[in-house]
Structure 1
Amino acid sequence: MPDNLIGEIRRSAVLMTYAPGAIMDMRADGGPVSAVSAGLEEWDRSAPLAGNLKFQKIIERRLCKKLGKKYFRLPPVLEDGATKPGTDDLDPAALVARRFPEWLQCPSCEILRPASKWANDAGRAYRYCALCTQKQPGGKKVYAVPVRFATACYSGHLAEFPWHFWLGHAPDCKSRDELKLTSEGPGLAGLVVRCPDCKHKRSLDGAFGKKALSGLKCLGKRPWLRTDDAACSCTGENGNYRVVQRGASNLYYPVIESALDIPPWTRNLERMLGDHWDTLADIPLLQDRIDYIPTSTTLVRILEREGMTAKELANRFEQMQQDLDGSNPEDMRPDEYRVFTSGGSEQDEEFETYAEPVPESMKPYFSKIIRVARLREVRVVRGFTRINPPFDPDGADVAPISVTPLHWLPAIEVRGEGIFLQFNLRRLAEWETRAEIIERCAVADASWTVEWHSRNEDKPKPYPASPRLLLMHTFAHALIRQLTLECGYSSASLRERLYVSEGEQGMAGLLIYTATPDSDGTLGGLQRQAMPDLLGPAVEGAIRSAQWCSSDPLCINGEMTAPESHSLASCHSCTMVPETSCEMHNRFLDRALLVGKDDNPTLGYFRALLETE
């Protein structure tokens, strides 16, 4: 694998797992390589949106408006054997990753050194121990492996583990390029780093403590970008600069904005305009726009295909602009909710829905059931956080994925199917205003308020941990878990999309859907579950499964939940789902709101389902 190529990953993984700033573990020619995915400037530099890649662009008008971008870019994919346009040379376009961490260890002799101090072969990304390789039969390479420790801060910065600070060399020690990390017992206490020169040694016991790095300040290292952030104020004393595991799930939380393609944005004409939208929008006068359209070869082809005149196209474009101006870029879900609850069916190329009758047993709980036969979702990565999940997409703790803002962001488009359920607003309003419900949910809201204000002193909470939110979110998880049994999808293939807002005219709906780039999202088995004879048993099965947990009575009494989850009765055995399926990182859950408790059964919104045979 020449030219320091370290492998291939799926396009969806680039966005959801390995977007700029994320650490990826690869094997290059058999050697382990750990690297951090580089920023967007490297995309333009190493895989420009031209030549073989010029068509790998997507547009979703509402998201473009919200994020202030002209378009979104798919992660680059080249066909096998693709050559540069007009030549026989292979196209070298590829994403860039920078080696991280730099410190590598030989698994045989346990020596610890920076990557530049290990043996290497030209054009290969791996590093190996020359001395240990010589001792192997046939000279089989003993590859140096990346250390599994790093440091990170709440602002998203990433740096090497401070080996020398942690070890504390003797004053006259000059050894800075070689240490030894040996395993002498179980756990961190048995992992000992020592200096071969001054003989100082120290175990890594306590390295993951909140204030283990007291005495150090974050230097604002951003290995995924070409510049560092010298203004970072995180320190070890404050606990916001700490040691992390290189492969830990809390080392990278992408901040994702997403939108469903809904009418009128799914019409053929809107999609065909593509890049010409901005050109037409820059022409303020209608007559000037009419005069310009015949001068564009692409727009002329659109006129011929649609059987339109330049004036008709200009008028249609004017209406499209008014539709876009009428949408709220800060919260696109009300528009989606309005389409789902309108009561009609839609048969567009990218959005196909059918209203299904609500089963008789479900009418007390739901007012509308929509079978979503086809949908398209665009997911855009705009930044990321480390250590803590993103509470506020615009918060100061969101790290950038480019040095300066660009006119595009990376994105993927996924297609799938799903089920939309609208709760019975009358019954929901009656249930959520009961004193015992409000009192129970106040515990979750109080912890949510404390955590929010500890990170955002001057900003109001984006939403309360209300009875409606906890109920609908928990039900979404229960239904996902049941649908994996009913229709054969893995739980990681299903995803929730919540439509929740307070008040009599607020939103109270949820969409359970598959949306993946592969065939798993187009099998048809999920949308079929929206049919009346299948949905009723599925909901009843979900509620009955939620009645008991293998961790009860601890779980139902809220003794299994972490304080930072703002949940009550919830654990991995009963309500939690894969992180990729949950919009809220498995927070704001309470099983008791679905089924009640033995000492207070009326807490459960669906309690009556359990009392029927």
Structure 2
Amino acid sequence: MGDKSIRAAQLISPFGPGAVVDLGSESFVCTDISRWPESECPVLPDNALQRALMADIRRPPSAEQHGAVPFSRFPRWMFCPSCRRLYNYSHADDERNEFKQPMCSGGECVETALVPMRFVAACEHGHLQDVDWYRWCHRNTQIPENGQCSRQTAKMTFETSGASGGDFNAMAIVCKSCGQRNTFEGLTNRPYPFSCLGRQPWESHKMSTCTAIPRVFPRAASNIYYVATRSALDIGSGASESGQDPQKALRSWLVAHPRIIGLRSVLVAIPNWQQMPELFSDIINSGVDEFGLNEEDVRGAVIDVLSGENINNAEDKTSFDKSQHSFLISEWPYLARPSGIQSENLKTSVQFLHGAWPAEYSRPFEQITLIERLREVRALIGFKRVKPDNTATEVPVDLGAGLNWLPGVETFGEGIFLKLSESYVSTWETLVAPAISDSLKHLTEACSRWGREPASVYASPRFIALHTLAHGLIRRLSFDAGYSSSSIRERIYCDTGVNAAAGILLYTSDGDTEGSLGGLVRQGNPERFLTTLQRTLADLSWCSADPVCSESEKQGIDGMNAAACHACALVSETSCTFNNSLLDRRLVIGSPDGRIPGLLNDIALQVK
């Protein structure tokens, strides 16, 4: 790629391993992490995400590390915008050209920069490849031996006629060597007529087979690359603050500690390892600092866990749940607590709403927690192509090389946490469930297909109402808090039963100064936020697409939205972690016909 660069955070999303990246007039694909310079990727400081995933999280190299993430040119098929000649530009060509931008080698247009072809082929097993334009041009044809056109000598052009409104019939690949010609008709609306190569673009010499049938998409299409990430806030141990038993918290922390896994394989060869605490002194010291326990207690716990004792206890098994939902539920007690936290990476203050807000507003809402500082760690664990649901294969970021680290970033920011009353929400759920029972069945099936687990949580009136309200607040806060809507992210805390939760965290989390300008915390002042909430409900009560939008039952991806569209409830893809799905304004403000009671129906009636 030469001296081209992108931000480190973008190498996690949206331009991580396997993603196609346009830089100027050139196009590349990011390689898997087994090709990254691991020594130039610093390990992030200890964090909950690292312990849960049992792998180091490393930041992509920056200018200070003098390392570079390798990219491979893709697609390799390019054409000259002047003479329209088609080139298959190989890696050897790149090396000879010192990886500079490819140029046309024709007559009058020599030194004209080549343009990458627009279309590529991908399959549901996560593979990506060039469209073989030579074969496409010569498909369904038989060339006599005396007129044989070889791949090496064929001179092909990419031609457009400008007719038919610029559709696929107006674009064609023409072989000047043998006269064959084929338009682009049928290129994207049916399976690609050639087999999948079973590899990624940078694995040019890999020989593999794949049974999936590839399809052709524009190289910038969103379904070429779906990232799978995990993120967690840096809460710290919080044992003393939360009232949790420090010993129990320590043991859960040790069970998921990445060093424990490596040590077990080593200690097998050392019979008296228990009398050699220097082998695991780093873990002991970390445990003492993290939980405030004495060294002897921590040493005993470390020896127990290394010996495998209590490893199967139910309380320890929760440490191995790597779903995003598990991270959210573990964060909930700290954000929802009635007193603030003042730790290195989490500084909060609680504002109670009873008495500060009118009674009708303080019934559904208990408190606002102002978060002056937070640290979020985000890691990329894999990606999918063609479909983001469970029918597609998730490709690990190391392509199965077995590396013990993941690419990730730490970001800092501020936020507003809004806690709802559990009794209020559960009472409303009982009222609304019969009115939307048929919709919930469809949503439960869709959530299972899309890996939204547990489906009983995400396909619930509670989650949909919280999620829709969060979107409305993001859209409204972008006017008042000094941030663009794409800079504000959401975390929806939702569960029932023992882990009952109902809360919304709206926060900024960025690697630069925009993450901590103070605008969100200032807007979270109860008096200011009350105005924001009122305006949000007014926004959700009306949509320029009504009455069509308000009467819709299945909109968006897989029909997982109801009354929600771009005009009223959808936000930037960087803000929503659910692909702008599972939204319905009616569950917040109520339906126009009164059939569906909204979570904030009584308040919404006052602001309509």
Q: TM-score range by the shorter chain?
A: 0.7 to 0.9
1:534-583 CA-partner distances (Å, limit 9, x unpaired): 11111111111111111111111117823514110111111111111111
What's 1:127 paired with? 102
The code of the aligned residue for 1:142 comes to T
Call closer, same or farther: CA 1:66–1:277 in 2, change over 3 Å.
closer
Corresponding residue to 2:123 among 153, 167, 182: 153
| 1:258 and 2:231 aligned | yes
| 1:526 and 2:513 aligned | no
The code of the aligned residue for 1:147 comes to M
Corresponding residue to 2:194 among 199, 206, 216: 216
Call closer, same or farther: CA 1:59–1:278 in 2, change over 3 Å.
farther
1:250-274 CA-partner distances (Å, limit 9, x unpaired): 211110011111131799xx99xx9
Question: Is the 1:377–1:515 contact (alpha carbons within 8 Å) kept by the matching residues of 2?
Answer: yes
The code of the aligned residue for 1:370 comes to T
Shift of 1:15: 1.0
Looking at structure 2, the residues matched to 500 and 229 of structure 1 have their Cα atoms a distance apart, in angstroms, of 46
Looking at structure 2, the residues matched to 438 and 298 of structure 1 have their Cα atoms a distance apart, in angstroms, of 52
| 1:48 and 2:57 aligned | no
1:307-364 CA-partner distances (Å, limit 9, x unpaired): 9996587479789999994853312222201111221211000111111111423212
Corresponding residue to 2:338 among 336, 343, 357: 343
The code of the aligned residue for 1:7 comes to K
Shift of 1:96: 0.9
Corresponding residue to 2:170 among 190, 199, 208: 190
Partner of 2:476, secondary structure, is helix
Shift of 1:230: 3.6
Looking at structure 1, the residues matched to 365 and 304 of structure 2 have their Cα atoms a distance apart, in angstroms, of 35
| 1:200 and 2:180 aligned | yes
Corresponding residue to 1:77 among 62, 65, 87: 62
The code of the aligned residue for 1:22 comes to A
What's 2:142 paired with? 171
The code of the aligned residue for 1:183 comes to T
Looking at structure 2, the residues matched to 310 and 562 of structure 1 have their Cα atoms a distance apart, in angstroms, of 55
RMSD: 3.8
Shift of 1:26: 2.2
Looking at structure 2, the residues matched to 231 and 294 of structure 1 have their Cα atoms a distance apart, in angstroms, of 46
Looking at structure 2, the residues matched to 154 and 385 of structure 1 have their Cα atoms a distance apart, in angstroms, of 7
Q: Which runs of 5+ in 2 are unaligned?
A: 241-249
Question: Is the 2:94–2:100 contact (alpha carbons within 8 Å) kept by the matching residues of 1?
Answer: no
Shift of 1:247: 1.2
Corresponding residue to 1:552 among 520, 527, 546: 546
Call closer, same or farther: CA 1:312–1:465 in 2, change over 3 Å.
closer
Question: Is the 2:379–2:406 contact (alpha carbons within 8 Å) kept by the matching residues of 1?
Answer: yes
Call closer, same or farther: CA 1:74–1:121 in 2, change over 3 Å.
same
Question: Is the 2:339–2:350 contact (alpha carbons within 8 Å) kept by the matching residues of 1?
Answer: yes
Looking at structure 1, the residues matched to 366 and 207 of structure 2 have their Cα atoms a distance apart, in angstroms, of 52
Looking at structure 2, the residues matched to 586 and 318 of structure 1 have their Cα atoms a distance apart, in angstroms, of 47
1:22-33 aligned at under 5 Å gives the runs 22-27=19-24, 32-33=25-26
Shift of 1:290: 8.6
What's 1:233 paired with? 211
1:287-308 CA-partner distances (Å, limit 9, x unpaired): 977964599899999999x999
The code of the aligned residue for 2:562 comes to L
Partner of 1:500, secondary structure, is strand
Looking at structure 1, the residues matched to 217 and 577 of structure 2 have their Cα atoms a distance apart, in angstroms, of 24
1:200-243 CA-partner distances (Å, limit 9, x unpaired): 3232133221x242x433231222457758453212xxxxx211
Shift of 1:484: 0.6
1:374-405 CA-partner distances (Å, limit 9, x unpaired): 1111111110011223x45xx76101221412
Question: Is the 1:15–1:381 contact (alpha carbons within 8 Å) kept by the matching residues of 2?
Answer: yes
The code of the aligned residue for 2:319 comes to N
Corresponding residue to 2:537 among 543, 547, 570: 543
What's 1:143 paired with? 113
Question: Is the 1:118–1:128 contact (alpha carbons within 8 Å) kept by the matching residues of 2?
Answer: no
Call closer, same or farther: CA 1:298–1:327 in 2, change over 3 Å.
closer
What's 1:401 paired with? 397
What's 1:597 paired with? 591
Question: Is the 2:76–2:116 contact (alpha carbons within 8 Å) kept by the matching residues of 1?
Answer: yes
Partner of 1:20, secondary structure, is coil
The code of the aligned residue for 1:37 comes to C
Looking at structure 2, the residues matched to 276 and 118 of structure 1 have their Cα atoms a distance apart, in angstroms, of 45
Partner of 1:352, secondary structure, is strand
Looking at structure 1, the residues matched to 280 and 491 of structure 2 have their Cα atoms a distance apart, in angstroms, of 43
Shift of 1:421: 1.5
Call closer, same or farther: CA 1:326–1:206 in 2, change over 3 Å.
closer
1:402-481 aligned at under 5 Å gives the runs 402-403=398-399, 404-434=401-431, 437-440=433-436, 442-443=438-439, 445-446=441-442, 448-449=444-445, 452-453=448-449, 461=455, 463-481=457-475
The alignment-based identity, stated in percent, is 28
Call closer, same or farther: CA 1:234–1:295 in 2, change over 3 Å.
closer
Question: Is the 1:218–1:232 contact (alpha carbons within 8 Å) kept by the matching residues of 2?
Answer: yes
What's 2:243 paired with? none
The code of the aligned residue for 1:171 comes to Q
Corresponding residue to 1:110 among 61, 66, 84: 84
Looking at structure 2, the residues matched to 229 and 333 of structure 1 have their Cα atoms a distance apart, in angstroms, of 42
Looking at structure 2, the residues matched to 428 and 78 of structure 1 have their Cα atoms a distance apart, in angstroms, of 49
What's 2:245 paired with? none
